[in-house]
Amino acid sequence: MAEYEANPAAVAYIRRLIDARQYVLDSDWGAAQPKAEEQNAYLERHSWQEYARWHLGLTVGAKDETKARYAFVCGDLRRVHRSGLIACVYRASEWRHKAVELAAHDLLQQLDEVSAR
């Protein structure tokens, strides 16, 4: 099984998006999460660094600037999705990737706090 560490750059970026209210509160994550062709199109117009900041996890041992390096996407490459953060918490906790789980949980708490104001 792959091992993941938290992506601090993604956590910081998602925090900024939440503070700027760039989020979707109600969505079907299965429909909203970016598909492979959407990710490829994004990479044609953006840098790997920009792509990486949408992923809360980094695959240990995978090379930078490969899709294999980045895991636990939590937005549609435009906005953060609450359902995406919930999916990250669930998947990370299911497979015991504690650092990613806690990062996603903290971001979910922040989103809920900001959206309640």
Averaged pLDDT, 84-113: 98
C-alpha to C-alpha distance for 107 and 111, rounded to whole angstroms: 6
**pLDDT, position 1:** 78
The domain ranges of the chain are 4-116
- Tell me the pTM: 0.95
**pLDDT, position 117:** 85
Kindly report the average pLDDT of the chain as a whole number. 97
Confidence of residue 97 (pLDDT cuts 50, 70, 90): very high
pLDDT, tens only, 15-46: 999 999 999 999 999 999 999 999 999 999 99
